[in-house]
Amino acid sequence: MSTHLPHIPLPQPLHDIFRPPPTPGVLGVFAYLDATLEAIEKLRAAGHTDFTVYSPIPRHEIEDALGQAVSPVRMFTLIGGIAGCGFGAWLTLWMSYDWPVVVGGKPIGAIPPYVVIMFEMTILFGALSTILGILFNAAFAARRLGTIQWDPRFTNDKFGIFVPTEPDKAAAAEALLRGAGAEEVRRG
Amino acid sequence: MADATPRITYDYVTRTIARTLGNPGRGYFLLLGAAVALLAVGIVTLLLLLRYGLGLAGYSHPVYWAVFITCFVFWVGIAHSGTLISAILFLFRSGWRTAVYRTAEAMTVFAVMTAGLFPLIHIGRQWYFYWLVPYPNERGLWPNFKSPLIWDEFAIGTYFTVSTVFLIMGLIPDIAAVRDLATGWRKKLYTLASVGWRGTNEEWRHYTRGYLYLAALATPLVLSVHSVVSWDFAMAIVPGWHATIFAPYFVAGAIYSGCAMVITLLVPIRTLFHLEELIAVKHFENLSKLCLLTGSIVGYAYVCEYFIAWFSGNPNERAAFWYRVFGPYWWASWTMIICNAFLPLLLWFKKIRTNLTALFVISIFVNIGMWFERYVIIVVSLAGEPYAPWANAVYNPTWADWGIMAGSFGWFFMWFLLFVKNFPAVSIAEVKEVLPPPRRTRAGAHA
């Protein structure tokens, strides 16, 4: 008989981000935008805060109904842009003084031509950090929500709302979604 | 889409655009075969250039920037309208861009990919291209950041990277939409490429913000890139190059040629993939209005150039411009002036703006004219250098120049055709955005 060792789970950060544990709840499928908005208002009035709305396109009505804060992606863009500008300045000036060669009788560290490099680096770093901002924020939001129910029609022409609830409270959420005009409600 | 009939629903949009991923028929494969054949010509020419050296091309003193650099500027220019349509018109909230911007943006990426080959071919020893990159080396040398050629490397590198990520960002929700209809190997490809997109409110919240900032970053970028390309010339003292008007003149010309190329590409794509209902005549009309605007700026720039050459009183500047229109390359200059400044005046007529055959023909002539514009600026200015005219040899492009140029067209069209066949060539999400959303009050289905 082997000695019985206690089971210590290894941390699996990637698995946790991309395959978070399932969240119990109710999924409603909606054909109409105004029905979806009505359901959002009713859910918020009933005290739900962490439900997820699926839509094939971004709609300002949904954003307004959810009362979402402005995405933090803008900080990524700003910090990336400033970092890029600084990197461009450092690259050109440090390299010029590291091996000083006079070109065309101009100063070793000439600012006007280096502005071009600083500008391009601002755009490059700003754009790449914007992408990282979108990916990180979306991935961490998905991690927080857990593995939730979804339907492939949500990328085509249907709207959807997933309400995370304990199984014993699912009936109330189900009734609420149906009352708002969901054409299909599923538990999971 | 103001003229959208109620028949055009979200589902109709998804299925119509997803249909472009199906079997496109014989016409498509004939075009793709032609593109690959042209590319093969380019590859063989490049191999011969590698084997026997750049002497095969027509370089002769003092014309050491010739067809390859002409093609480089031409292709960078083609790229510009894509970013104009996708980023600048996005910031202006123009609804009509949704039907055409994906094709324009893909054109941008592939045109920059094509343009980027030419400096490498031009340097002759492609395996030393990394000397352009500021990397630590044993001699402790760094690139000369006061040279416009290094600015250009940074500008083109940034442009390629940013336009590629901008294209991919726009594609993600659309790839997710076709993923949910696809089967087989395509399903796997699109599942991977859509990075798990589901359309949650959190995803859209970060995505729409990020897309806005990407557009806001791409807008100054596109204006800077062709300005920097123009400074490759304007920073030098060759008469015909050394002009402060070059940056806006090149940017307008770039957008002009790019819009023409979008028309050239969209007319056959619309027919091949049966997108008549999504890409309407109205979209072509708007594109041709953009052509008319930028073409007029280009025509104005031509007038300015000649006026300033005369008004400066500088004999060398005057000689250079006289040489352009009355010298041995008069035919190139007049092709450029007629195709770019006079032909697009036809677009003032609505009948021509709404006639796709006429637009297609005009757009091809504009492309020819814009290629000759770069040829005139680069080659003819060098060939007519008035400082030591007895030392100037006659310049003529050879088969090697034309072979590489043909190859570049093959390379560009091959990527473009593969793209429109395998990825949504019209933005699914953004076409839906300009449709009225489904509401039960209008549909009357539910109480």
Are A32 and B438 in contact (CB < 8 Å)? yes
- pLDDT given for residue B202 in this prediction: 92
Residue range B185-208, pLDDT digits in tens: 889 999 999 988 999 999 999 999
pTM equals 0.91
Q: Which residue has the higher pLDDT, B406 or A50?
A: B406
Residue spans of the domains in chain B: they are: 10-443
Confidence check: pLDDT of B442 > 80? no
Rounded-to-10 torsion of CA A75, A77, A83, A84:
180
B 140-199 residues with CB < 8 A to A: 140-147, 150-151, 154-155, 157-158, 161-162, 165-166, 169, 173, 176-177, 179-181, 195-199
- pLDDT given for residue B444 in this prediction: 46
ipTM of the complex: 0.91
- Reading the block at residue A122, the tokens are 């601002």
What is the CB-side half-sphere exposure of residue B241 using CA atoms within 13 A?
Answer: 22
Confidence check: pLDDT of A176 > 80? yes
Instruction: Please list every residue in chain A whose beta carbon sits closer than 8 Å to the beta carbon of residue B149.
Output: none
Are A120 and B158 in contact (CB < 8 Å)? yes
Give CATH superfamily name and number for B10-443.
Answer: Formate dehydrogenase/DMSO reductase domain (1.20.1630.10)
Task: Compare all CA atoms of chain A with the CA of B432 and give the residue at the minimum distance.
Answer: A57
Residue range B140-168, pLDDT digits in tens: 889 999 999 999 999 999 999 999 999 99
Q: Mind giving me the DSSP string for B409-443?
A: HHHHHHHHHHHHHHS-SS-HHHHHHTSPPP-HHHH
Dihedral (CA of B174, B178, B179, B185) sign: negative
Instruction: Please list every residue in chain B whose beta carbon sits closer than 8 Å to the beta carbon of residue A55.
Output: 199, 201, 204
Rounded-to-10 torsion of CA B410, B415, B418, B420:
-110
Q: Which residue has the higher pLDDT, A107 or A8?
A: A107
B 93-132 residues with CB < 8 A to A: none
For residue B109, give Cα distances in angstroms to B106, B128, B138, B339, B385: 5, 24, 35, 26, 35
Side chain identity at residue A182, one-letter code: A
